[in-house]
Amino acid sequence: MQMFDSEVQNLKVLKFVLQMTENIQASLSSPLSEVISTVNQSSPLNEGLSTASHFSDSLASPFQSEDDPGSSEDCETFADANNDCHSNDTIWDIPRTNPNQPHDFCFPIDTSQRKFCTRWFKDFPWLEWDEGRRGGAALCFICRQGRVRGLLETGNTEGAFICDGYCNWKNGPLNFKKHESSENHRQMQYKLSGLLRGENVAARINVQADKQRKENTQNLLTIMSSLKFLARQGLAIRGHEDNDSNFNQLMLLRCQDQPKLVDWLSKKTSWTSHAIQDAIIKMMGMTVIREVAKDIQGKSFFAILADETADVSRIEQLVVCVRTVNDNLEANENVLGLHELSSCDAETITTTIKDILIRFELNINNCRAACFD
């Protein structure tokens, strides 16, 4: 018998909901008070349900106003209703263009007697309020919309502002600024703004990356050409102090013609360290040696000139040169480099010269002369 009464009650509720829906749809063009009045007159379940007047009050004033603050019980009742309404989170998981920022809402107070401040909506326009998160929490509208629209990259997530919700009101402004300046937030803001303007975000990012790549290449070529000039003129690259070195002064001079170079040199990684300078000069030297070796390989015969000397650190260095003659019978001499010797005996010098010829792919059978001191 109780089951039968329950089914009857459920049928009455269903009938009332259907009738209320039809009346509201028929009165969409009427003022809100007329719609509520129609619903109230059509209610057959005044005993089993809340009265229509209570439904009217809750619908007309969903948020707490400044003129009529209301009681804390009303705020808690509305918060509970919203928790039930947004428990499945469907209303937040759809593309939207504006954040949810209720300025006259009764924000809940946490255990430390703190609550969300409405002025944060003005200071951080990307903030939005979600009543269904942890009893009420702040989230990032831009990052949430990026996740909904599939713009969020895997691994680039901040759960507190995207999924879980932020509730630490004591350090609110500090963490809001930290999130606002994060790379993930700025990148998502760029992508979302381009998407809302109907732009191809991927293409625009590729264009920006290609532009940055060209600027970096130009700056690196400037550094290499400056080192090439100093090496060609036989000028010292470094001095007693880096700021007064020939290289740094030359780079500052070239900044007057290339404004982008100023930003490049101010970076932490500017490719101007001593190790990078040595590596670039070594690459240039190897390029010159390859060109020399290619020219020598095109000649039928050549001669070898070798001599050893001690440097300032008293380490024996072997200087090897190759002499060739062109079609006009003009002699050319090219230095193949300085090579450290472990010993000054004949066997060590011979082995070193043979090793140099092998590395330059020069056939020793084409050697027609050898000159030593």
Chain segment 195-241, per-residue pLDDT in tens: 777 656 566 667 777 888 889 899 999 999 999 999 999 999 998 88
Cβ within 8 Å of residue 228, ≥6 positions away: 284
Nearest CA among 293, 296, 318, 298 for reference residue 308: 318
How large is the average pLDDT for residues 24-29?
46
DSSP 338: E
Model confidence at 47, in pLDDT bands (50, 70, 90)? very low
Domains of the chain: 1-60 (no CATH), 85-199 (no CATH), 202-272 (no CATH), 298-371 (3.10.450)
Comparison of pLDDT for 127 and 269, the residue scoring more: 127
Model confidence at 46, in pLDDT bands (50, 70, 90)? very low
169 by DSSP, 3-state: which?
helix
Q: How far apart are CA 301 and CA 322, in angstroms?
A: 10
Comparison of pLDDT for 146 and 228, the residue scoring more: 228
How large is the average pLDDT for residues 180-186?
85
| pLDDT value of position 88 | 40
Residue 303, beta-bridge partner list = 323, 369
Contact criterion met (CB below 8 Å) for 341 and 354: no
- For the stretch 72-129, pLDDT in tens is 343 343 334 334 334 344 455 667 778 888 888 888 888 889 999 989 999 998 899 9
Query: Average pLDDT, whole number, for the chain?
Result: 75
Residue 184 has pLDDT above 80, yes or no: yes
Q: How far apart are CA 289 and CA 263, in angstroms?
A: 35
| pLDDT value of position 280 | 94
Amino acid at 95: P
Contact criterion met (CB below 8 Å) for 274 and 238: yes
| pLDDT value of position 62 | 35
367 by DSSP, 3-state: which?
strand
Residue 159 has pLDDT above 50, yes or no: yes
How large is the average pLDDT for residues 322-336?
90
Nearest CA among 242, 369, 338, 214 for reference residue 251: 242
Residue 4 has pLDDT above 80, yes or no: no
C-alpha gyration radius of the chain = 40
Model confidence at 276, in pLDDT bands (50, 70, 90)? very high
Which residue blocks in the chain are alpha helix, DSSP H?
Answer: 2-26, 32-41, 52-60, 72-85, 119-123, 141-148, 159-162, 172-180, 183-196, 201-232, 246-254, 260-265, 274-297, 346-359
pTM of this prediction?
Answer: 0.45
Comparison of pLDDT for 169 and 203, the residue scoring more: 169
| pLDDT value of position 28 | 44
Model confidence at 29, in pLDDT bands (50, 70, 90)? very low
Q: Which helix (H) or strand (E) holds 128?
A: strand 127-130
Q: How far apart are CA 6 and CA 285, in angstroms?
A: 94
Nearest CA among 186, 198, 202 for reference residue 140: 186
- For the stretch 347-360, pLDDT in tens is 999 999 999 998 88
310 by DSSP, 3-state: which?
strand
| pLDDT value of position 234 | 92
Q: How far apart are CA 262 and CA 252, in angstroms?
A: 8
Nearest CA among 155, 244, 251, 140 for reference residue 189: 140
Q: How far apart are CA 301 and CA 332, in angstroms?
A: 12
Residue 11 has pLDDT above 70, yes or no: no
End-to-end CA distance of the chain: 125
Put the strands of the sheet holding 316-325 in their side by side order.
331-340, 316-325, 302-310, 367-371
| pLDDT value of position 104 | 84
Of the CA atoms within 13 Å of residue 136, those in its CB half-sphere come to: 20
| pLDDT value of position 220 | 92
Residue 307, beta-bridge partner list = 319
